[in-house]
Amino acid sequence: MAEVLLVDAPAEFDEWRDLVRRLLRAGLSLERLVWTGDDDLLARRLEPGDLAGGQTAGVKVPRRFFELAGKAFLHSDAARYALLYRIVWRLQAQPKLLSDEADSDVRKLEDLARAVRRDIHKMRAFVRFRTVKEDCGTDRFVAWFEPQHNILRANAAFFVGRFASMRWSILTPLGSLHWDGQSLLEGPPARREDAPGEDSAEDMWRTYYAATFNPARLKVRAMLKEMPRRYWKNMPETALIPGLIAGAQAREAAMVVAGTDAFAEMPRPASLNDLSTQLADCRRCPIGCNGTRAVAGEGAVAASLMIVGEQPGDHEELSGRPFVGPAGQMLDLALERAGIDRSRAWVTNAVKHFKHEPRGSQRLHKNPNAGEIDHCRWWLDRERELVRPAMLLSLGASALRGLTGRTQSINQVRGQPQLLPDGSEVWPTVHPSYLLRLDGAAREREAGRFADDLRAVSMRLAALAIL
């Protein structure tokens, strides 16, 4: 039995890559090697002579592997070295290995790379500098951060470019960076107490954060996902978050009331034709004043099913009809397959004008914000009063907010009907435009889920014997 060799993993990825090439050319298989961090008392340390001879053929590895491996190499998982070498070894016989999404090694590689990218992003977003006076009397800005992975050096160029004119230091338990305006130095690991406490700029951070906090866009779970609590202790503005969350619901209600006040003098439409006529003259929000025409709903009067989307797009605004563009074509096909006759439903949008930004000769879609959805809710409520549907198919988060007044995660509530005060049922699912942004296996998977949601609506309609 061949002896097992212990390989000391280099600190730099380029050095690791060169070492792996030499290991492969020497024909050292997976079973012959253990890496730094592995427990194997019988392993002999790798010597230069072990790399002599062997293959002369080049090592073939796709570029995508190095893109993923460069990030995974920075992960804190000690098993990463063995994983990376195992994948390189397998790639020599399976050049298309990385396209196998079901392979456990490939999934693990992507998970490690994703975690490192996330950690890099978090460091860039959540580092907060505090001012200290140096012996020479100049200001130095010092920050404390606790990365989960070995990302300090990978982020150095970002901070040098962003704060080139400042003298700064970033201290972490894994090492430190020091910039004097001209050169960058790496230092040893630091402790939290090596960093300064609060300074005079903290009040400005808190004032700015409180002023920009929008209760209408609050999604607590999404916020915690993007800004986990472990980062809070180093960010001055986070002390305000519990109070801002607590008051968000009341503030949001006030914003909705303020938005509907603009309609206080508006006569309630007596028919869907009246609603369409009045809607054409609506200029009560910035979207209504952007030069596009309003797109009213269409379909069967007194329909038992109302289909609600987000807002008209470019095709819809030009034609004056809802859901006639690519998303509408996908919706029509899905409805037909689910056994739902669109001509017997009422089709509309939560927001009636096309919000967009010009890009050359094109008009690019922009999502309406919560305030704009709430402002346009007056029209959607009047539409519902006139159509009186028993069921509503809600396509996307904007439509769901327009119907319920709350921002909710579609993935968490899709397929779960919600009861409105008038007794009608809201069935949430994704907007078909979401499917158009996907491709390959992802589109096929999500299209299947969308079809399942529509079939559930069709079955419910049949059970109620209303369509």
Residues 237-258, mean pLDDT to the nearest whole number: 57
Binned at pLDDT 50, 70 and 90, residue 207 comes out as low
- Cα 149–Cα 151–Cα 153 angle in degrees, nearest 5: 145
| Nearest in space to 255 (alpha carbons), one of 152, 145, 395, 375 | 375
Q: Pick the range with the lowest mean pLDDT from 32-46, 138-152, 399-413.
A: 32-46
pTM: predicted TM-score of the whole model, two decimal places: 0.50
Using the predicted structure, report yes or no on whether residue 434 has a pLDDT greater than 80. yes
Q: What is the 3-state secondary structure (H, E, C) of the chain?
A: CCCCEEECCCCCHHHHHHHHHHHHHCCCCHHHEEECCCCCCCCEECCHHHHCCCCCCCCCCCHHHHHHHHHHCCCCCCCHHHHHHHHHHHHHHCCCHHHCCCCHHHHHHHHHHHHHHHHHHHHHHHCCCEEEECCCCCEEEEEECCCCCCCHHHHHHHHHHHCCCCCEEEEECCEEEEECCCCEEEECCCCHHHCCCCCCCHHHHHHHHHHHCCHHHCCHHHHHHHCCHHHHHHCHHHHHHHHHHHHHHHHHHHHHHHHHHHHCCCCCCCCHHHHHHHHHCCCCCCHHHCCCCCCCCEECCCCCEEEEECCCCHHHHHHCCCCCCHHHHHHHHHHHHHCCCHHHCEEEECCCCCCEEEECCEEEECCCCHHHHHHHHHHHHHHHHHHCCCEEEEECHHHHHHHHCCCCCHHHHCCCCEECCCCCEEEEECCHHHHHCCCHHHHHHHHHHHHHHHHHHHHHHHHHCCC
Using the predicted structure, report yes or no on whether residue 260 has a pLDDT greater than 90. no
Residues 85-113, mean pLDDT to the nearest whole number: 93
Residue of 84 and 239 predicted with greater confidence? 84
Q: Please give the pLDDT value at position 467.
A: 44
Q: Please give the pLDDT value at position 126.
A: 85
Q: Tokens at residue 164, please? A: 């080139």
Q: Please give the pLDDT value at position 220.
A: 55
> In the chain, what percentage of residues exceed pLDDT 90?
56
Mean pLDDT of the chain: 86
Q: Cα(433)–Cα(424) distance, rounded to whole angstroms?
A: 25
For domain 266-464, the question of CATH label 3.40.470.10 is answered with yes
pLDDT in tens, 149-202: 999 999 999 999 989 988 999 999 999 999 998 999 999 999 998 888 766 556
Q: Pick the range with the lowest mean pLDDT from 149-163, 220-234, 269-283, 365-379.
A: 220-234
Structural domain boundaries of the chain? 5-121, 127-194, 202-261, 266-464
Q: Please give the pLDDT value at position 264.
A: 63
Binned at pLDDT 50, 70 and 90, residue 211 comes out as low
pLDDT in tens, 266-311: 788 999 999 999 999 888 888 888 889 999 999 999 899 999 999 9
